[in-house]
A and B are shown apart, each in its own frame.
Chain A
C-alpha cells in the first residue's frame, strides 16, 4: 500500500510591507490520475499566503504580549485544511517566509516501502505527520538564499520593501527563484540540511 507523505506545495516570501515578494508553487501527487500537479491555482495560493499575514499579525501581537518569539520561527501558522498547512518564519527585518506543506503531496510506493528495512519503513510511516521544528531547515535555507540575494550589490531592498510602508516590487532574481525551487523540491520530512 502506498503511503502519502508531506511535501512542499508552495514557498512564499512576503516583504515587510505585507507585500508578496516571491511565490513558488510545487506540484503534488495526484492519485486520481497518477500525476503531479499543484493542488491549488496560483490565485488560491496567493490567497493562502495573504491569509497567513493575519496569523503573523496575531502571533506578533501574542508574542509581544508574552515576550517570546525572538527566534522568528513562528512554527505552524495554521492548517488551511486537513491537507495544507502553513508554516511561517519572520526575519528581524520583517521579511516573512511561508512554507505551505501538502500533507499528502508525495507518495511512497508500497512496494518500495516494503523493500526498505524496518527503520526506514518506520520513518516512512511516521512521516505522515510533522514534528515541531521540522520546517527549520527550510527556513534556514530560504533565509540563506535571501541573504545571498541581499548580498547582490544590484539588489536594492528598498525597492522591494520601500520604507514608506507601501507595497514593493517582486523579486525577479533568477538565482533566488532557482534556490526556492531547489528547496521546495528537495525537502522531505526528516531532512535536516538543504
Chain B
C-alpha cells in the first residue's frame, strides 16, 4: 500500500482542526509551494492558550485521532465519533478555491471562469485538460480543508476583564468566520471556551449569560459553543471532551453530506464544464462527460466514506469503476499516454476503496472475489490495450496488488483471523455460501497474501533479469532510436524503467530485498499460526534470495533452527531436508561455519538423499575451503540427522552368567552414496548399561580390506588401562566402571557393513543392555561424534557367519543379555541326611558349609523353616552362641543373618540345627542361605542357597480291637449291703474317691501296631494310657507284648505288624449308674533309633485309640470255654460257659435251647429257662465232647483268630484243631428276641450263623493246646 501516493488509499475520516492552543507539533498546511502563495490564511489574533487545562484537552482530543484505528464498523456503538485531528496554533492555510491563471496567458477571455486548482479545468492543475481525478483532491479533504475548525479560547473569570475578553473572543471568532466564508469553504466553526475558574454556583447564572452573549455575538449555533469548566478533574474534562466531539461529529457528517450532495448535483446536471481556457497543447482533448461522471461518482463515494455510509460509498465506487473501465473511457486512452497510467491508478484506488467497503461490511469473500476480479479485469485490459502481462511491470503490479490486500486485512483488523483463532481463512459469508467459490475467495490471512506477493516479485525479478542489455543501458548512453523503440515496450506503471529496474553496471531495484521482505512478513504470519512447516517452506525460499544477496549468515540464522527442530527427517520428507541441507551447507561454507558444513556433509552422505553429480562426497574434504579458527568438534545426537551409518548389536544368547562372558556381534552398516569416499572411524564406543560401562574399538590400520558386503573381524577386548585417559571420545559420564578396549580396522566403505565379534564379559547379575553406539571420526581438521541408537527388531536378528552368510538368531531382545548371578563356590551340605524324620523325636541336623572359593570368605547364615506351623529351632555355629529362630508368620520361622565368621579357603564349618520333637507328621522346607563376601570384591554379596526337604512322619500306626471277657469277680448284689455303697448324699463334702462299687466288666484290648518307618526301629516298651472317667474306673490288669522284659527293646522292622494285648478291668463307680461309659485310651510306644553309637533317650510316640464304649443296660450273653483232656483218646472235653448278664433294672427271663449236633455231644440243659434279677449274672455250663471227625488239613485255616485271640500257636498248624458250632439259642422270653452269643475268651469266635468253639487236636503226649 505504501507504494501508492500517500493518502490515496487511506480511509477517509472527518477532519477536525483545532486552533488556538500552543502545541509541540507545528502546523503544516501541506500545501504545495505553488498553491501556498495563493492560499487563504485564517488567523486568530489572540495569543495561543498555554494553560494546563487547554493542553490536557488538546491532548485528549489528539489521542482520539482515528486515523490509525482499525477500519471496521465493529465497535460502532462504542465509538461515537471518528476524527482525524490536526492542530494549529494561531493560523492555518486553506488551499485557494480559485486557481490563478498561468503566467503565460496574457489575456484571458472574459468568459473565463476560474476553477479549483484541483480540477482538470484549471490549467495549473496536472489534470488539465483531460485528467480524471488525482490524489491531490483526496488529500485536500483529508489534510487541508477541515470539516470542523475548533477554536480554543479562555473564558476569564476575572469580572473586571470579563467584558473585554469576551469582546475579544467575539471579534476574533467573527474575524475567522469572515475569513472562512471568504475562502469559500463551508468549514464549520466551533468554539470551545476554557473557564479558568473553578465554577461556583453563584457565578453560574452570570456565566450562562456571558456564554449566551458570546454565542450571539459570534453568530454561533448552540451546538458549536462549548464550555469547559475550570475543574481539575480529568474525568470531568474527558466527559466534556467526549460530549463535544460527539456533537461535532454530527456537525462534520453534515458537512460531508453537503459536499456529497453538491457532487451529486453536479453529476445530475449532465453537462461537461468548460475549462478556464481551452487546451492548446497535446491532443487538445478535454475530459468527456463519462470522465466527469467518474469524477463526480468518485467524489460522492469519498464523501459517503467520510460519513461511514459504506454501502452508499461502495455503490458510488462501483459505478465510478465501471464507468472508468468502460469502452468510453479507458478503452479510449492510448497506452502511451500518461493518462493511461493515471487511469490505471485511479482504477486501483477505486478497487482498493471498494475492497475496504466490502471488508468493512464483513463481506470477506466478496472482497476476495473483488480482488480477483480487479486483477482479471486489469490483466485483460493490459493484455488487450497495454503492454501485456509478460513483463516485470505487470508482475510488480501483481505483487503490489497482493500486498495491498494483506495491508487491508491488517488495517481492517478481522478478529476471526487472529492467530489465536487458529483459523487460516474465513468461511464464506452467508450470501455466497453454496455458490461455486474459488478457494482463494475464502479470505486467507495476510501470510498467504504476502506469500503470493513474493511469488510475483520473483516473477518480476525473472522478467527483469531477462531484459536485454540494450534496454538496460541508461537512455543517455543509448542511441535515440533505441530509446524510442524501448519506450513503449515496457509497462512502467508504478515501477521504474528497464534501465532503472535492472541497470547495466550498477545496482537497480533490489528485488531480493523486496522478496525477502514479503517472505519474512509471510513467515511471521505463518509462525504466529503454528504453520511451522509452511514457514519452513517460506524460509527456504527466503534463503534462496538471501543467497543471491550474499547474506549467508542470515540464511543460517533462518534455516538452522528449522533444520534442527523440524521433524522432516523422522517423518520422511527427505527431499525437503535435502534442500535445506544444501542451502545451509552453501551458506555455512561462506561464513566459515565449519560445524554446519560438517553436519550437512555428514548427513548428505546418506543414500536417502539424491546424489549430486560431481560432488566429492568425502567427509575429510568437506572443510577444504573453510577457514578454521579452531578445530571444530561436532556432536550429533541420534535421530538429529539422517545418518548414513546404522548400527545393530546382537547377543548370541539370551542368558549369561556373571563372571563368564557372552558372545556379541556389533555391526555397523554404511548407507553412503556409492562412490563416496570410505569413512575412517577413529573410534567406536559401545555403551552398556549393566555389567560394564562400555567397549571402545579403536581404528587400527591393517591391510586393505575386502570390498565385500561385510567385513567380519573378531576383536579381543582388554581392560582399559587406568592411565589411558587421553580419550576425549569417551563421554564424560563414563569413567567409574569398567571399559574395555579393542582395536580393529574401522574403515567403512559405502554400502559395506563392519561386523565385530566380541566376547563381552559379564560381571554383575541382572540385565546387561547395550545402550547406544557413538561413532567418532577424528581427522586433523575436525572431530565428529555421532550417537546412534541401536536397532532393536526382534525379528530381524541376523548373525553374520561369514561376509556373505547370515543366520537368524531368535532373540526377542537382541540388545539385552540376562546375567544370572555368579555361581557361588560356597557349598552347603548335609552329610547325614535322612529321608525321614519321625514325630516325637528331636531332630538334630548337621550341615557342613565348605568354602570352595580361592580366598577366605566372611559369611552369614540365614535359615528358614517353611511349612505348616514350623517349630522354633536352634542353630549352633562353632565359635558363636546358639541362636534361636523367630517365627515370622504362621508358616515360617527364620533365623536371619547369623554370623558365621570367616571361613578360610577350602575350609568347612559345621552348623548344627536342632528342632524340638514335632508331634504331627508334616513336611518342611529348610533353606540354608549362606551369604558371603570375598575380600577381593567386598561390595558384591554372593549367596549360596541349599534347600532341604524335611519329612517328618509318624513312625507307627496301629489298629485296635476291644474284646469282651467275663469278669471273674462277682457283681454286687442289691441284696447284699456289703457290696453296694450308699448313695453319696449331696451335703457330704467328702471328696475322697470312693472305691468303685458298681458293676464290673472285663475286656481285652488287642492292639496291632506296625512301623511305617523307613528303617528298623527299636521299640522298648508298649503301653496304654487310659483316660480317667468320672463314672467308671478302668485299669489294666495284664499286658502281653512280645517285647523282651529286659527293657532292651526289640527291633521292629518296617511294615511288620506287632501285637500287644492288654486285659482291662472296668468297674462302675456306683451300682445305680448303669449308663454307657466311654473309654479313651492311647497307645504309647517307646522307641529309639537302633543306633548303637548314640544311645538316645527313648522317644515316646502316643497313638490315640478311637473311643470305645463300655457298659450299657442291654443284657449280654458271653460264651467262654475251657478245654480238658477228654476221657477218650485225642478228643478233649470242652466246657462251654454261658454267662448271661442282666445290667438292666428289669427282671428278665431267657430261654436257652441247645440243639443236638452231629459234631459233638454235649451235656447240660437242652432246654432251660434262666430268670435274672436286675443287676445280676447267671452262668449255664455245657460240656461238649466233639466227635472225632475233625476236618481235613486246611479247613481250619485261619481259625486261630476265633474269638479274637491272636495266639500265634494256633496258626502253627492247620491241623491243630477245628471249629465246631454249638447250636445254642438264647431267647429273651418276654421280647421273643434271640440274643447274640458274644465270644468272651479264647477258643470262642463269632460266626455268621452263631458262635463257634475251637476244638484243639490233641497231640500225642496229650495236653490241650492254647
Contacts and interface: CB of A to CB of B under 8 A. Distances in A.
Interface of A: 17-20, 32, 42-43, 46-48, 50-51, 53-55, 57-58, 61-62, 76-83, 85, 101, 103, 126-132, 166-168, 170, 189
Contact of A50 (B434, B455, B530, B576): B576
Contacts of B390: 32
B572 A78 contact: no
A17 B452 contact: no
Contact of B372 (A57, A82, A130, A131): A82
B573 A79 contact: no
A71 to B, nearest CB: 17
B575 A130 contact: no
Contacts of A58: 422, 424, 529-531
Given A18-B571, A50-B536, 20 more contacts: A18-B567, A20-B571, A46-B575, A51-B531, A51-B533, A53-B533, A54-B533, A54-B534, A55-B424, A58-B424, A58-B531, A78-B425, A79-B439, A80-B448, A85-B440, A103-B439, A130-B436, A131-B434, A131-B435, A131-B437
A50 B575 CA distance: 11
B554 interface: no
Q: Which of A127, A132, A168 has the most CB atoms of chain B within a 10 A radius of its CB?
A: A132
Nearest to A14: B571
B532 A54 contact: yes
B442 interface: yes
Nearest to A86: B439
A126 B537 contact: no
B531 to A, nearest CB: 4
Contacts of B438: 79, 82, 103, 128-130
Q: Which of A48, A54, A126, A130 has the most CB atoms of chain B within a 10 A radius of its CB?
A: A54
Nearest to A18: B571
A57 B664 CA distance: 44
B439 A130 contact: yes
A43 B532 CA distance: 17
15 contacts: A19-B571, A32-B390, A43-B575, A48-B537, A50-B536, A62-B422, A62-B423, A78-B444, A78-B448, A79-B439, A80-B448, A129-B441, A130-B436, A167-B569, A167-B572
Given A54-B530, A58-B422, A128-B438, A46 B451 contact: no
A136 to B, nearest CB: 15
A14 to B, nearest CB: 9
Q: Which of B435, B531, B639 has the most CB atoms of chain A within a 10 A radius of its CB?
A: B531
Interface in B565-616: 567-573, 575-576, 579
B928 interface: no
Contacts of A130: 436-439
B570 A167 contact: yes
Nearest to B372: A82
A9 B422 CA distance: 27
Nearest to A41: B575
B352 interface: no
B437 A50 contact: no
Contacts of A55: 424, 531
B1217 to A, nearest CB: 93
Contacts of B425: 76, 78-79
B533 A79 contact: no
Nearest to A190: B436
B276 to A, nearest CB: 45
A51 B649 CA distance: 37
Interface residues of B, number: 41
Contact of A81 (B452, B531, B568, B579): B452
Q: Which of B423, B451, B533 has the most CB atoms of chain A within a 10 A radius of its CB?
A: B533
Given A19-B572, A46-B576, A167-B571, A54 B531 contact: yes
Q: Which of B439, B442, B534, B570 has the most CB atoms of chain A within a 10 A radius of its CB?
A: B439
Contacts of A129: 435-438, 441
B540 interface: yes
A140 B639 CA distance: 36
B384 to A, nearest CB: 12
A49 to B, nearest CB: 8
Contacts of B436: 126-131, 189
A58 to B, nearest CB: 5
Contacts of A76: 425, 439, 442
A163 to B, nearest CB: 12
Contacts of B537: 47-48, 50-51
Contacts of B529: 58
B575 A81 contact: no
B422 A20 contact: no
Rank and list the top 5 A-B pairs by shortest CB-CB distance, nearest first.
A129-B436, A85-B439, A51-B534, A79-B439, A19-B572
Contacts of B568: 50
B453 to A, nearest CB: 10
A57 to B, nearest CB: 7
Contacts of B448: 78-81
Contacts of B423: 62
Given A47-B537, A50-B573, A167-B570, A79 B442 contact: yes
A54 B532 CA distance: 7
Contacts of B540: 47
A51 B576 CA distance: 11
A76 B441 CA distance: 12
Contacts of B437: 129-131
Contacts of B435: 129, 131
A79 B994 CA distance: 121
A189 B437 CA distance: 12
Contacts of A83: 440
Contact of B572 (A32, A51, A101, A168): A168
Given A47-B537, A58-B530, A82 B440 contact: yes
B651 to A, nearest CB: 22
Nearest to B441: A129
A166 B570 contact: yes
Contacts of B576: 43, 46-47, 50
A43 B582 CA distance: 13
A50 to B, nearest CB: 5
Q: Which of B442, B570, B573 has the most CB atoms of chain A within a 10 A radius of its CB?
A: B573
B530 A57 contact: yes
A77 B455 CA distance: 20
A47 B569 CA distance: 13
Contacts of B422: 58, 61-62
Interface in B522-576: 526, 529-534, 536-537, 540, 567-573, 575-576
B640 to A, nearest CB: 13
A44 to B, nearest CB: 8
A90 B423 CA distance: 18
A141 B390 CA distance: 39
Contacts of B440: 79, 81-83, 85, 103
Nearest to A32: B390
Contacts of B452: 81-82
B966 to A, nearest CB: 94
Q: Which of A32, A48, A58, A62 has the most CB atoms of chain B within a 10 A radius of its CB?
A: A58
A166 B789 CA distance: 13
B1228 to A, nearest CB: 94
Contacts of A82: 372, 438, 440, 452
Contacts of A77: 424
Nearest to A87: B439
B792 to A, nearest CB: 10
B201 to A, nearest CB: 60
Contacts of A43: 575-576, 579
A83 B440 CA distance: 8
B680 to A, nearest CB: 29
Contacts of A19: 571-573
A2 to B, nearest CB: 13
A103 B439 CA distance: 8
A81 B458 CA distance: 14
Nearest to A42: B575
Given A19-B572, A46-B573, A55-B424, A101 B439 contact: yes
